[in-house]
Amino acid sequence: MSVKDALTTYAENTWCPGCGNFGIFTAFKNAVKELENRGVKSSHILITAGIGCHGKIFDYLNLSGFYSLHGRAVATAQGMKLGNPDLYVVAFVGDGDAMGEGLEHVLFAAKRNADITVIMHNNGVYGLTTGQFTPVSPKGFKGPSTPFGSVEEPLNPIKLVLDANATFVARGYSAKIKELTNIFVEAILHKGFSFVDVLQPCVSFNDTYEVYNKNTFFVDRIGKTKEEAVELSTVSEKIPLGIFYKEDKPVYHELVLEGKNLFTGSLTKEERVKRIKELLKIYCL
C-alpha cells in the first residue's frame, strides 16, 4: 500500500488544518511503535471508534477493528476483548460521544474493570456538527444550540470514571505529543480499564491552544488513593496533566471467562453438537 507510513491508510484526511486530532493521531502511532519495541505486535492491537471528528481516526489508522456507532465504541471494545482476550483493544471516543450518547457504557466498563483503553478526544464541542455544547463544555459556552450560553454545569470525566472504579486514569494534551505517547503506552499496557482524557483544541469551534499552552502542567506523582487522584486532576487556574491513578485489580474477562479464550479455544462443530446432545439428554429425562 502506498502510504505515508505503515500505520496510515490511504484515506483522505479531512480534519481541519491545525486540528488537535493530528496530535492524538501522531502520539498513538508513536505509541504503537513503542509497543512493538516492547513486544506487542500491531496485529494484536485492535481499535474501535464512535462518531464525530475523533471517529475519523479509525479510517486513518491502518489497524483492524470496528468503526462503531455514536457513543457505542466502549461497548464494542468490551465485546472485542471478550472475543479474544489475547488482544489489546483501544476505543477512541469523543467527549460528546462518551459523556453524552455513551456515558453508561463508559461507567459500566469502568465498574467491571474491562481490560480496554478508552482515549477520549476532549475538544469540548460537537465539532463535526459545527460546534454544539457537550456534557463537558463549561457553563456559559456559546454554540449553535446554546446561543445565549449553556446554563448547565459540566461533567468532570476524570472524577466520574474514578467513582466508577476505573483503574488507570490520565489526562494528556494533544500538543504534548511525547508525553501523550507515554501515557498511551502506559494506558494500553495497564491491565484493566484505562481512561485517557485528551485535551484537544478544535480550531474551528473551540480553539483552546493558547489556554492549554499557557496553563497546563504535568503532575509529579500518581495519586495513592482515588481522593488524591481527584485532587491531583482538579482543574483550577492551571490544568494538570499526567497519570493520576493506577491500581491493580482483577479484570472482567478473567473473572467471567476464568482464563478461557473463546476464540482460540473454540470447539469444533462436531464437539459442539455432541455436547448439545449430551445436555438435551439430561434435560429430557
Grid coordinates in use for 120? 477520549
Q: Does 285 bind other proteins (CB under 8 A)?
A: no
Among 24, 32, 57, 87, binds other proteins (CB under 8 A): 87
Backbone phi, psi, residue 5, to 5°: -155, 170
Among 65, 94, 96, 102, binds other proteins (CB under 8 A): 65
Classify residue 149 by burial, with Cβ atoms within 10 Å: 0-12, 13-18, 19+. Answer: middle
Among 16, 69, 107, 164, binds other proteins (CB under 8 A): 69
We find the least distance from the C-beta atom of residue 8 to other proteins, in angstroms, to be 11
Question: Pick from 14, 46, 206: which is nearest to 115 by CA?
Answer: 46
Determine the interface stretch with other proteins among 9-17, 111-119, 229-237, 247-255 (rule: CB under 8 A).
9-17
Q: Does 129 bind other proteins (CB under 8 A)?
A: no
Cα distances (angstroms) measured from residue 3 to each of 35, 53, 55, 62, 164: 21, 21, 20, 10, 41
Q: Does 33 bind other proteins (CB under 8 A)?
A: no
Residue (176 or 253) nearer to other proteins, CB:
253
Contact 135, 103 (CB under 8 A): yes
Among 8, 13, 26, 62, binds other proteins (CB under 8 A): 62
CA 178 to chain CA mean position, Å: 18
Range list of H helices, the chain: 21-37, 57-60, 73-83, 95-96, 103-111, 157-163, 177-189, 209-215, 226-233, 252-257, 269-284
Among 9, 146, 156, 204, binds other proteins (CB under 8 A): 9
Binding mask 247-266 for other proteins (x = CB under 8 A): ----------------x---
Question: Pick from 189, 193, 169: which is nearest to 74 by CA?
Answer: 193
Q: Does 46 bind other proteins (CB under 8 A)?
A: yes
Q: Does 205 bind other proteins (CB under 8 A)?
A: no
| Contact residues for other proteins, defined by CB under 8 A | 1-3, 9-12, 41, 43-44, 46, 56, 58-59, 62-69, 84, 86-87, 263
